[in-house]
């Protein structure tokens, strides 16, 4: 009798876990992703509109911006590849994910220039009810390349809810065997990617003091700037 009850409880627990496991990552707002590959490039916009009330929060006058991490895979050589020397090694996670910034940028926030302003061609800041929009156009990668990215909306320089993560979004595209871009999957991110993102922040922060001078044409820093601790709202 006891065994039968135990079996029933275990079955319920298993069923319960498979049905209710919180697989998607935290989201406190809505994502809108648009983009169509052109040749081997993928011009796109990724927008997030923060809805604090939707997750029982109030973040008056907060500003949110984007951080992007990427992972690019060459299916010919079965390895991950990079656009420059900087992200490989210390700036990447052990799995090869890295914060997507060009060499010379001192800040890890996707659109933040060294002079402290956001370049509108890369990221327009948003706020509650106002979308923050990331613009990207990856391109030039060779045939049989898989390009994966996770966009993360975070409160930045805000009087409330500062350094809180508001949501995660996954997008990807593939260069086929003729080096023609094909849209792959774009969807809310899932768990494990949020911990990979934390690992990418850690890698950036460990690397930053050793980066050497960062010059982007708008300002100069003796080395890259570490992120503050960022956590889900």
Partner 1 sequence: MKRFTIVAASLLACLCLAGCARKEKTVPLTDEQNQVKTRLEGQMQAAAQTAQSYHAMDNSVLLGKLLEESKAQREPFNSLAYRELKTRSGVDSKALAALVKDNPNASGLLPLLLLRKLDNKSYLELPAELRAKVLTDALGSSKFFNTWGLPNFYLEDASNAMIEAGRSATPALKKMLSDTRPAPLFGSQEAMLSKQMKYRLCDYALFFLKRIGGTGDFRLPQTVEERDALVKTAQK
**Contact residues: partner 1, CB under 8 A:** 5, 8-9, 12-13, 16-24, 26-28, 41, 55-56, 68, 70-71, 73-75, 77-86, 88, 95-96, 100-105, 121-122, 136-142, 146, 148-149, 170, 172, 184-185, 187-188, 190, 192, 215-217
Compute the distance between CA of residue 207 and CA of residue 131 in angstroms, rounded to an integer. Answer: 31
Shorter beta-carbon distance to partner 1: residue 63 or 86: 86
Helix H or strand E encompassing 200: helix 193-207
Half-sphere exposure of 219 (CA within 13 A, CB side): 15
Q: How far is the CB of 63 from partner 1 (least distance, A)?
A: 21
- Residue the block writes with tokens 């960062």: 214
Asked if residues 204 and 226 have their Cβ atoms less than 8 Å apart, the reply is yes
Buried b (16+ CB within 10 A) or exposed e, 122-147: bbbbbbbeebbbbbbebbebeebbbb
Shorter beta-carbon distance to partner 1: residue 24 or 160: 24
Write out the two tokens for 203: 């890698």
Q: How far is the CB of 190 from partner 1 (least distance, A)?
A: 6
Q: How far is the CB of 205 from partner 1 (least distance, A)?
A: 20
DSSP β-ladder status, 231-232 and 164-175: parallel
Shorter beta-carbon distance to partner 1: residue 4 or 229: 4
Shorter beta-carbon distance to partner 1: residue 32 or 53: 53
Q: How far is the CB of 140 from partner 1 (least distance, A)?
A: 3
| Phi and psi based region of residue 178 (left: phi greater than 0; alpha: psi -120 to 50; beta: remaining) | alpha
Shorter beta-carbon distance to partner 1: residue 19 or 229: 19
Compute the distance between CA of residue 71 and CA of residue 92 in angstroms, rounded to an integer. Answer: 10
Q: How far is the CB of 38 from partner 1 (least distance, A)?
A: 12
Q: How far is the CB of 20 from partner 1 (least distance, A)?
A: 5
Shorter beta-carbon distance to partner 1: residue 78 or 178: 78
Asked if residues 151 and 34 have their Cβ atoms less than 8 Å apart, the reply is no
């Amino acid at each position: 009798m006891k065994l039968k009850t135990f079996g029933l409880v275990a079955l319920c627990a298993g069923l319960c876990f498979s049905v209710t496991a919180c697989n998607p990552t935290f989201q406190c707002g809505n994502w809108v992703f648009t983009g169509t590959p052109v040749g081997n490039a993928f011009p796109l916009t990724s927008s997030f509109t923060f809805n604090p009330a939707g997750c029982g929060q109030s973040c008056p006058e907060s500003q949110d911006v984007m951080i992007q991490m990427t992972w690019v895979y060459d299916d010919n050589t079965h390895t991950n590849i990079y656009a420059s020397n900087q992200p490989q090694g210390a700036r990447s996670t052990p799995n090869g994910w890295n914060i997507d910034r060009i060499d010379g940028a001192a800040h890890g926030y996707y659109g933040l220039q060294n002079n402290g302003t956001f370049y509108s061609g890369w990221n327009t800041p948003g706020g509650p009810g106002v979308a923050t929009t990331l613009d990207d156009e990856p391109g030039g990668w060779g045939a049989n390349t898989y390009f994966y990215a996770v966009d993360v909306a975070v409160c930045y320089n805000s009087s409330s809810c500062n350094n809180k993560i508001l949501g995660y979004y996954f997008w990807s595209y593939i260069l086929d065997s003729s080096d023609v871009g094909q849209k792959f999957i774009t969807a809310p991110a899932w768990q494990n990617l949020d911990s990979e993102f934390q690992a990418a922040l850690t890698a950036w922060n460990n690397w930053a003091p050793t980066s050497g001078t960062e010059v982007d044409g708008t300002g100069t820093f003796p080395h890259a700037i570490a992120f503050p601790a960022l956590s889900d709202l």
